[in-house]
Structure 1
Amino acid sequence: MVALDIDGTLVDHEGVLPENVRRSVRRITAAGVPVVLTTGRSWHATRPVFEQLELPTGPAIASNGAVIVQFPPLELLTVRTFDPADVIEKVLREHPRAAIAAEVIGVGYRVTRQFPEGDLSGEIVEVSTDELAGSDVTRIIVRDPESSDAEFIDLAGRLGLHGVSYSVGWSAWLDIAPAGVNKASALAEVVAEMGFTAADVLAIGDGRNDIEMLTWAGRGVAVGDACADVQEAADGVTGCFADGGTAAELDRWFAPRLRGRAWEPAALAS
């Protein structure tokens, strides 16, 4: 089976799905190979890509593993949450100008202040810090467009986060999830339910939130645009996104099968 990150792996930074990627994925699913979207996006932002790819009914992993759905029709299979109050207090003590958001599954976000245009999708409702901290959430997003990813890596270290999982994005973006929850933990759940093992999985991604997934999968591949940390964690590195790296990696393993020759999952571990 195949596990695919979305942004920077399936779509570009404008959200455009290239035809060669769509074609590669469609050939794979037509041959009966399961494809699972495994993304940091919320489910409501994941659904359009699921539909563009015309994926058959099956699972999808959203919110960096905190949410697993079956679609279509929509069924929430797993929702992991945590109490964000302590994390929010620590973040604002260390970085008072940060904007903080909490996902509302299938709808949008509650935010303490507005994020840069295009960062979030769906219904955006501005609330007080106390309101945001007052109920369990699937994840907390911390954002400051005036900072850098290096500054946010340092921020995460200063926060001394315990009892949660976290990852830093391409920019000054910090995703905080329930303890032990990441793309790999959710993928392990989905894979076991489908009767596969890690050795059967080809995973492709480009972000720091993909590191656990790329390490866990039988073959974890970083897109060529990925930062050094992600590339070092992967079993291999394909071409850059704009050069067709995602489609090239998919076609490398699955095109022979589509010509009538057997594909052996164990090959991914080699």
Structure 2
Amino acid sequence: MSTPELVALDIDGTLLDPETQTISPVVKNALRRVLASGAEVVISTGRTFLGTRPVLDELELTGGYALCSNGAVLVDVAAREPLSVTTFDAAPVLAELAERLPGCIFATERVGIGSLVTAEFDPANLHGPQQPAAPQELVATPVPRLIAEWSGHEPDELLAALDGVELPDCTHTLDQYEPWVTVVPAGVSKGAALEKLRVELGVRGELTFAAGDGDNDIEMLRWAAHGVAMGQARPEVRAAADEVAGPVAEDGVAAVLHRLFG
């Protein structure tokens, strides 16, 4: 393909190794090469804005945009502030997940503030301050993101429990590393948010690139003219991509970026 002008990159499992919780120097060097080309780099993540901000700092990104909460929150990278937030009524979803996943705990995002939680989450997974609250308080007002964590279960068990389930008026994805369900407004995805941004930036569709590893990256990989799945991704994610890179532990995304921008 021609050198991409819009490069969308997932964080966890793509840029950042979940096992070590680090971004390798090799990946950072590849990203610098992309930026030097003049391409628009968009960090596209399921993380909240608070969880994304330290990564923007570590990568020394000083301009452009980031998509957080699977596209529900658009961030001005230079200002380190949200530009827009899409929300939904999460009460019906919380009720259905509580019934289907007995004992699960919930969190809803308060953009730029933290999360309301029904029980404490691991701070390594849910970034920012956590405020305990009753389930009805979590969904008393519309939110951009709802998380359900099925503690004590494996991701494959969660996948089986929700196989074929249609949750009301929302988009939901499952995490491949943790027993998590991430729920955002209906029609919201990384791919949909990136298409809107692409049009606004005036980038031709054939000059788009994306890399990711999770279920929440599938729409983004299909959206891109060249979508790259990480080597450790589940088969469904790899099937949505044009290319499969090496796993994150082997800096797979860096090898692809060096090839395209070398």
Q: Which has the larger radius of gyration?
A: 1
Matched, 1:5 2:10: yes
Structure 1: 5+ residue runs without aligned partners? 256-270
Letter in 2 for 1:148: E
Deviation at 1:114, TM superposition (A): 1.5
Matched, 1:145 2:156: no
Equivalent positions of 1:167-178 (< 5 A) are 167-170=173-176, 171-178=178-185
* CA distance in 2 between partners of 1:159 and 1:95 (Å): 12
Letter in 2 for 1:212: E
**Normalization by structure 1: what TM-score?**
0.90
* CA distance in 2 between partners of 1:194 and 1:167 (Å): 27
Rate the CA distance shift 1:156–1:29 in 2: closer, same or farther, 3 A.
Answer: same
* Residue of structure 2 in register with 1:199 after alignment: 206
Q: How many residues align?
A: 255
- Determine if contact 1:26/1:54 at 8 Å carries over to the other structure: no
Residue deviations 1:102-141 (CA, integer Å, cap 9, x gap): 0111222110112235221110111001111211100110
Structure 2: 5+ residue runs without aligned partners? 1-5
Rate the CA distance shift 1:174–1:250 in 2: closer, same or farther, 3 A.
Answer: same
Deviation at 1:224, TM superposition (A): 0.7
* CA distance in 2 between partners of 1:111 and 1:118 (Å): 15
* Residue of structure 1 in register with 2:197 after alignment: 190
Q: CA RMSD in A?
A: 1.4
* CA distance in 2 between partners of 1:141 and 1:41 (Å): 11
* CA distance in 1 between partners of 2:60 and 2:161 (Å): 40
Deviation at 1:34, TM superposition (A): 1.2
* CA distance in 2 between partners of 1:124 and 1:158 (Å): 31
* CA distance in 2 between partners of 1:178 and 1:39 (Å): 15
* Residue of structure 1 in register with 2:21 after alignment: 15
Residue deviations 1:8-40 (CA, integer Å, cap 9, x gap): 111111321100110111121122111110000
Rate the CA distance shift 1:136–1:205 in 2: closer, same or farther, 3 A.
Answer: same
* Residue of structure 2 in register with 1:222 after alignment: 229
Matched, 1:125 2:131: yes
**Normalization by structure 2: what TM-score?**
0.93
- Farther off after superposition, 20-29 or 52-61: 52-61
Q: 1:239 aligns with which of 242, 246, 251?
A: 246
* Residue of structure 1 in register with 2:99 after alignment: 93
Larger relative helix fraction: 1
Question: SS at the partner of 1:60?
Answer: strand
* CA distance in 2 between partners of 1:96 and 1:224 (Å): 33
- Determine if contact 2:90/2:139 at 8 Å carries over to the other structure: yes
* Residue of structure 2 in register with 1:261 after alignment: none
Residue deviations 1:147-182 (CA, integer Å, cap 9, x gap): 122222233346531310010001210001100101
* CA distance in 1 between partners of 2:138 and 2:240 (Å): 34
Which of the pair has the greater relative contact order for Cα pairs under 8 Å at 6+ separation?
2
Letter in 1 for 2:257: L
Q: 1:48 aligns with which of 36, 54, 72?
A: 54
- Determine if contact 1:223/1:238 at 8 Å carries over to the other structure: yes
Question: SS at the partner of 2:56?
Answer: helix
* Residue of structure 2 in register with 1:108 after alignment: 114
* CA distance in 1 between partners of 2:64 and 2:23 (Å): 20
Letter in 1 for 2:202: G
- Determine if contact 2:108/2:139 at 8 Å carries over to the other structure: no
* Residue of structure 1 in register with 2:3 after alignment: none
Residue deviations 1:54-113 (CA, integer Å, cap 9, x gap): 223111100001000112213422211001111111111222300000011122211011
- Determine if contact 1:145/1:172 at 8 Å carries over to the other structure: yes
Runs of 4+ in 1 over 3 A off after TM superposition: none
